[in-house]
Amino acid sequence: IFDATHSVQRPGGMGATTGGDGELAPVLARAAIATGVDGIFMETHRKPTQALSDGPNQVPLEQIESVLLSLLKIHGALNA
């Protein structure tokens, strides 16, 4: 299992709180699947900027379907 959202976390990146770059989480998730990882953990939120925790790391909910489809495509190609 690869933790895509916590992998982009930057502790203290926003001064007193944790920052991160949620835009990179799908990229790292695809790379992980391409290396043979069989599972991905990703945090999501309708409005990551309003999330009570880990907002900067999260993938917007509206993007999750396309991210998951891309992961399944890669996984399928490797296991065909």
The distance of Cα 47 from the centroid of its chain, to the nearest Å, equals 15
pLDDT confidence bin for 72, thresholds 50/70/90? very high
Task: Please give the residue that has the higher pLDDT: either 50 or 13.
Answer: 50
The distance of Cα 59 from the centroid of its chain, to the nearest Å, equals 6
Task: Please give the residue that has the higher pLDDT: either 20 or 11.
Answer: 20
Domain borders along the chain are 2-78
Is residue 80 pLDDT above 90, yes or no? Answer: no
Q: How much is the average pLDDT of 39-49? A: 95
Distance between CA atoms of 41 and 29, rounded to whole angstroms? 9
The pTM assigned to this predicted structure is 0.89
Count of residues in the chain: 80
